[in-house]
Amino acid sequence: MSKKIMIVDDDQNDLNSMKEILEGEGYEVICVENGADALDQLTGDGFSLIMIDIQMPTLTGYDLLRLMREKVNHDAKMIYVSIVPEKEVLMDDVDGFIQKPFSSGSLIEKVKKVIGS
């Protein structure tokens, strides 16, 4: 059974790029464009990883991470994917960070490091 990943990003090009790369590695990928939709998706099957953009309208990635931690078990793996430089990112309670723009290799490497295979 493939591992399931949710990507939350308001940029359609970034969503499509990440989805294509990760599906090419055999992951099942669900894409959503905002925090409200991401919270709605949490009612279904569990995700191996949730990838969150930081700069989004309505709910920032920081707000979404906090709400998801409250809604799902605290051990869920979550990483930020953002253009914001990592040194400026609040890394509290998050499992990793991917800098935009990213290469397919760096994306896959980080995902595998966080969730294994």
Query: Who's near 109: CB < 8 A, 6+ residues apart?
Result: none
Q: Are 55 and 80 in contact (CB under 8 A)?
A: no
Q: What is the pLDDT of residue 116?
A: 85
Q: What is the pLDDT of residue 65?
A: 94
Q: What is the pLDDT of residue 46?
A: 83
Query: Who's near 104: CB < 8 A, 6+ residues apart?
Result: 21
Q: What is the pLDDT of residue 60?
A: 95
Q: How confident is the model over 103-116, as pLDDT tens digits?
A: 999 999 999 999 98
**What backbone phi and psi angles, to 5 degrees, belong to 21?**
-65, -50
Q: What is the pLDDT of residue 41?
A: 86
| pLDDT(1) > 70 | no
CA 90/CA 86 separation, integer angstroms: 8
Q: How confident is the model over 59-75, as pLDDT tens digits?
A: 999 999 999 988 876 66
Which residues partner with 21 through β-bridges? none
Q: How confident is the model over 15-71, as pLDDT tens digits?
A: 999 999 999 999 999 999 999 999 988 866 689 999 999 999 889 999 999 999 888
Break the chain into its structural domains and give their ranges.
4-115
Q: Give me the sheet containing 78-82, strands edge to edge.
A: 28-32, 4-8, 49-52, 78-82, 96-99
What is this structure's pTM?
Answer: 0.94
CATH 3.40.50.2300 for domain 4-115? yes
Cα maximum dimension of the chain: 37
Cα dihedral 19, 13, 41, 105 in deg (nearest 10): 30
